[in-house]
Amino acid sequence: MSVYFYIPNLIGYARVICALVFCYTGSFNPIISAIVYSVSQLGDLFDGMAARKFNQCSVFGSVLDMVTDRFSNACLLAVLYKLYPTIGFLFLWALALDLCSHWYQMYSTLYCNEKHHKTAVSKYKILEIYYKVPYMLFIMVLLSETAMVTLYLNVFIDWFVIQILMYVSVPFLCLKHYINFIQLISASDKIIEKEQNKF
């Protein structure tokens, strides 16, 4: 079977389609948009499980997973930029940081011949906690995604539960982007250290 048609990669393609639907409906249909975005993000749980269950792990799948995560986050952050004009620049900064930090992380992992960035040793304690404490990554991603979805829905729907979820989860979104910044620094450190060791 071609790697293109591995089950986890099919899930990845479905996630991309959901993100594209969100891009189309994001400015006028909040319920459909929130559902398709959430389905796209939930797919992130299942593609890894499918890869392990069916023994269909691949480099292509790993890259697809990373790119799909960044793409769907970028779509929502771009819509939030439009919906919150007075603080829109914060969402653009978050978008740029998310893309840059993950690109640097993936590049440094390959350049330094590490097996995976989640298992690599880091001198930054917050990254060790984020990646190696059981369920920490899952909880942080869940809460940061909840923050973005509730920030989005809050513009269209005046529900108390959405506001409560938003206020509870937004600090975790801020923490997640702080971790992205530390990840960028950590990846840069690794690249520079390897380069300096050549001489």
Residues carrying an active site annotation: 69
Q: Residue 174's closest CA among 74, 79, 97?
A: 97
Q: Are 84 and 147 in contact (CB under 8 A)?
A: no
Q: Residue 166's closest CA among 94, 158, 26?
A: 158
Instruction: Give the integer Cα–Cα distance in Å for 114 and 144.
Output: 27
Residues 6+ apart with CB under 8 A from 144: 169, 172, 173, 175, 176
Secondary structure element (H or E) that encloses residue 191, with its range: helix 160-196
Q: What angle do CA 43, 61, 143 make, to 5 degrees?
A: 35
